[in-house]
A and B are shown apart, each in its own frame.
Chain A
Amino acid sequence: METIIKPENIVYGKPRLINNNPMHYCPGCSHGVVHNLVASVIDEMGLAEKTIGIAPVGCAVFAYKYLDIDWIEAAHGRAPAVATAVKRLNPDKMVFTYQGDGDLAAIGTGETIHACNRGENIVIVYVNNAIYGMTGGQMSPTTLVDMKTATCPYGRNVALNGYPLKITELLVPLEGTCLVAREAVHNVAAIKKAKKMLRKAFENAMAGKGTSIIEFVATCSAGWKMSAGQANNWMVENLFPAYPLGVLKDRV
């Protein structure tokens, strides 16, 4: 056994850009895996010294604590506007936003749509777990019909709250988007596929091909009140039908 533990035998390890700060996320949270993917893609593309990340308000507000790159923490929902200026003022840099469904699809809807419509050469990493995690599990724009949250304790009621917002679909017809895809990180195959898509998005941004948005359908085991494993199963059974995985648009 000891003979196996040699540096040349490593087939997986903590991505180099992920530092040693313990992540504040709940056990099993999808954010950690998405962070690892973003860190790996930046490192593998050799962009560590050129990347500026824009952090959201929400569970990923502390993303800047875990990835050793330069970061700007945006006001709630405004990350695409912040990223717009950073990229336009530094066209040779890699600029991405990292946002949740509350940040991107509720308070920041305007900034999301307009950044995409202008075709900003940025990547939007969109983590959709259909709930507000950081504030304690309230309804988000993507909360499913009849799904229970702290602010719809009897389930999302269409008459009261409207329908789950498929914002990613709304971004497809915009001329400025070049890649719109929906991924997940619930198993190894999905993670490997998602990483390829993420890399393509980063390549698009560096090549000036327009806005790429990668949605990650994700879990919130604390907000959904179940274990991490159960949350993955619940996501597959309930979120995937509403938010089907796949490439929605690839103009490249």
Chain B
Amino acid sequence: MRQGFTCLLNNSMAEIKLLKGNEAIAHAAIRYGADGYFGYPITPQSEIMETLMDEQPWETTGMVVLQAESEVAAINMVYGGAACGKRVLTSSSSPGISLKQEGISYLAGTELPALIVNVMRGGPGLGTIQPSQADYFQAVKGGGHGDYRVITLAPASVQEMADYVALGFDLAFKYRNPAMILADGVIGQLMEKVELAPQKLRRTEAEIRKECPWAALGRPAGRQPNIHTSLELDSTVWEQYNIRFQAKYKAIEANEVRYEELYCDDAGYLIVAFGAAARISQKVVEIARKEGIKVGLFRPITLWPYPSKRLNSYKNKVKSILTVELNAGQMVEDVKLAVDCQIPVTYFGRMGGIIPTPQEVYNALKKIVNP
């Protein structure tokens, strides 16, 4: 019944459902053939584990779902599962993600694939349960200790919440690196129509051993032990590991940048925004275009690797850029770097769980159009 189980009939085809973003993550994980989920409740993402427990995938696909005693335990369960070559994920919201950072650093240091979902709420500290994007820095600039990167995907719809589970796992295994879905409370709680992919089979142990020869699944006679550690006392050796990590990050930067452009072809101004801020900004673009302002929306989908090259190509096309963020201005720094600070880049946002209205953003846009 566990591995290789022929899935239940009702999951064997793609299916359209009305779901919350958080629920979509859960369904997508089951249908992707994930092996395990380990989590700890925290608002505004508790529906992910609730949905998984309700679906009882251990009865169908054999997926393990476990409520851990803490976020720290949950990420270390993910670390253990990943070391066995299993497709494992965890989810949390900002304060819980802070607790997971040590484990994410270990995943990066041992080059293990895993998926981490952060449905962000306002910080710092215990903050608020309302939506935020204030963990941008934490996600794309390191988060934990050491020189490492996490592939960071920013969904802006419930459909993308579902789709990026598969994309996140695919990229994590392709590069043996942790991947994160960086959503905000809006996308987690929002209900939308979503097309769920057909059920995939979980990999058998034989398939995992073949596809992931590094997996710690027990050492057959004749093979060297598979050892997952990020400890090396010889600095000359550990520097070589670090050099290899950096080369991998360069390859990810070269191959895996994703973004979306709306009304950018003839744009004189650009709004750059991701997640919920991009959805609000889309409305702003429509309002502005009706008023005759030629503004486009550039939406980074991978926050790391950041679409810097593509953004750079706009520095001779647009007069000015506005970043819209649910934080105090974090991504704005990467936009300035992307355009080499050669055109004005302005930030507008709200903090602490407040979601700006399209009108507020439009007013901010007008200020850069007519300074």
Contacts and interface: CB of A to CB of B under 8 A. Distances in A.
A52 B84 contact: yes
A81 B76 contact: yes
Interface of B: 2, 35-36, 38, 64, 66, 68-70, 72-74, 76-81, 83-84, 86, 88, 102-103, 106, 110, 205, 216-221, 225-231
Interface in A45-75: 48-52, 54-55, 61-62, 64, 68-75
Which residue among B35, B110, B229, B230 has the maximum number of chain A CB atoms within 10 Å of its CB?
B229
Given A85-B36, A89-B88, A110 B69 contact: yes
A110 B78 CA distance: 17
Contact of A114 (B38, B69, B216, B221): B69
Given A90-B84, A111-B69, A74 B225 contact: no
A70 B223 CA distance: 10
Contacts of B36: 85, 88-89
Contacts of B64: 85, 88-89
A49 B35 CA distance: 22
B226 A78 contact: no
Nearest to A67: B225
Given A73-B227, A73-B228, A89-B84, A84 B218 contact: no
A171 interface: no
B83 A72 contact: yes
Given A49-B220, A70-B218, A72-B83, A82 B230 contact: no
A69 B73 CA distance: 24
Contacts of B88: 85, 89
A61 B232 CA distance: 11
Contacts of B220: 49
Contacts of B78: 85
Which residue among A51, A68, A86, A89 has the maximum number of chain B CB atoms within 10 Å of its CB?
A89
A72 B216 contact: yes
Contact of B218 (A49, A61, A82): A49
Which residue among B2, B38, B72, B86 has the maximum number of chain A CB atoms within 10 Å of its CB?
B72
A232 B68 CA distance: 39
B129 to A, nearest CB: 24
Nearest to B35: A89
Contact of B219 (A54, A68, A78): A68
A84 B103 contact: no
A199 interface: no
Contact of A110 (B73, B77, B230): B73
A81 B229 contact: no
Given A81-B73, A86-B80, A114-B68, 8 more contacts: A55-B229, A69-B225, A72-B228, A73-B110, A81-B77, A84-B77, A110-B73, A114-B69
A66 B302 CA distance: 42
A71 B227 contact: yes
A92 to B, nearest CB: 9
A111 B40 CA distance: 14
A48 B69 CA distance: 31
Nearest to B216: A70
B218 A52 contact: yes
A70 B226 contact: yes
A75 B102 contact: yes
B113 to A, nearest CB: 14
A110 to B, nearest CB: 6
Contacts of B102: 75
B229 to A, nearest CB: 4
A90 B79 contact: no
Nearest to B86: A89
A49 B78 CA distance: 23
Nearest to A84: B77
Interface in A123-160: none
A175 to B, nearest CB: 15
A74 B227 CA distance: 11
Contacts of A50: 218
A93 B231 contact: no
